Amino acid sequence: MSAPTLGVIGAGVIGSSVAHAAATAGYAVTLVDTDTAALDAARAAVRRHERLAALLGGRGPRPLDIRFSTDLADVAGAGFVVENTTESEPGKRELYPLLDKALAPGVTIAANTSAIPIARLAECLADPGRVVGVHFMNPVDRIDMVEVVRAPSTSDTALAAVEDLLGRMGKRSVVVNDAPGFVINRVLMPVVNLAAAVVADGVATPNQVDELFKGCLGHTSGPLRTADLIGLDTVVRTLEVLHEHYGTTEFATHPHLRRMVDEGRTGAKSGRGFYSYDGS
């Protein structure tokens, strides 16, 4: 019996992690990105994921069925697709009609977006019912909960398909209704924004902020360590999307966050954000 097939569009931190997790669950994965440097980084990331999994599992590395490609046509035969491109509505809306043409009728497209309403992406397709929101959290291999977003047009078939995918990957899910930012980021992004303000004002260090959230509220890592894992550039883009839709002050990006991104301090992936990741 052949392995189920999955296409992942976008080879960033989350995309490469989703590809690895799905391949580990037995999927034949095609990971597509137009940026060859991103694909090279994804290959290295998959090797790191597998070495860590082997170390923690007490086994040798095992071959995974992951194909890396720059050609969207290579996902044409996929039974399911996870779209994980940069958080840009114009860019995603340009991609979705291409996916609609490339994929067989009825193949579900999971939009892994931080804040863009799923209905806005689904309307770009001839069959909007095939689109469902799937918000994976970083690190994908350690967080087993996934926020699933059902747009008004999302079909029961698409919802069942994504729940099957997540079940095979060992993930739990909560299905919520569509809105900008959904639940997690509509709540989390203002918290990160205000935490950045606290640091900029000299009230507390990033570590002090996170220690209070961990010790007082039971958070695993705190808002600023979480922001570093997400990527501060993604945080800023998400805040911009939320501010565009809601227009309220809690989503207006704090200058400290924007300055950090302008300086290249985008979090764990760049080696420096609110914390240093260079081993020091």
Which residues, 6+ apart, have CB-to-CB distance to 208 below 8 Å? none
Q: What is the DSSP string of 155-188?
A: -HHHHHHHHHHHHHTT-EEEEEE--TTTTHHHHH
Tell me the pLDDT of the chain (280 aa) as tens digits: 678 999 999 999 999 999 999 999 999 999 999 999 999 999 998 888 777 777 766 555 567 899 999 999 999 999 999 999 999 999 999 999 999 999 999 999 999 999 999 999 999 999 999 999 999 998 898 899 999 999 999 999 999 999 999 999 999 999 999 999 999 999 999 999 999 999 999 999 999 999 999 999 999 999 999 999 999 999 999 999 999 999 999 999 999 999 999 999 999 999 999 999 975 4
114 is in an annotated binding site: yes
Q: Please report where in the chains the tokens 């809105």 appear, as a residue.
A: 179
Q: CA 197, CA 207: separation in Å to the nearest integer? A: 14
- The DSSP symbol for 252 reads S
14 is in an annotated binding site: yes
Q: CA 80, CA 95: separation in Å to the nearest integer? A: 16
CA 186 to chain centre: 15
Q: Enumerate long-range contacts of 52-57, CB under 8 Å, 24 or more apart.
A: 52/141, 53/24, 53/141
CA distances from 106 to 9, 100, 123, 233 (A): 18, 10, 15, 34
pTM of the model: 0.92
184 is in an annotated binding site: no
Provide the Cα torsion 51, 52, 56, 58; round to 10°. 0
81 is in an annotated binding site: no
261 is in an annotated binding site: no
> Using alpha carbons only, what angle is made at residue 113 by residues 112 and 115, rounded to the nearest 5 degrees?
150
Q: What tokens appear for 42 in the block?
A: 């994804």
Residue 280: predicted pLDDT? 41
CA distances from 73 to 8, 77, 98, 142 (A): 12, 9, 9, 31
91 is in an annotated binding site: no
87 is in an annotated binding site: yes
What does R_g of the chain's alpha carbons equal in angstroms? Answer: 19
> Nearest-CA neighbor of 103 among 71, 72, 134, 70?
72
173 is in an annotated binding site: no
Domains of the chain listed by start with CATH number: 5-177 (3.40.50.720), 185-269 (1.10.1040.10)
66 is in an annotated binding site: no
> Nearest-CA neighbor of 109 among 145, 159, 65, 169?
159
- Give, for 32, the enclosing helix (H) or strand (E): strand 28-32
Residue 222: predicted pLDDT? 96
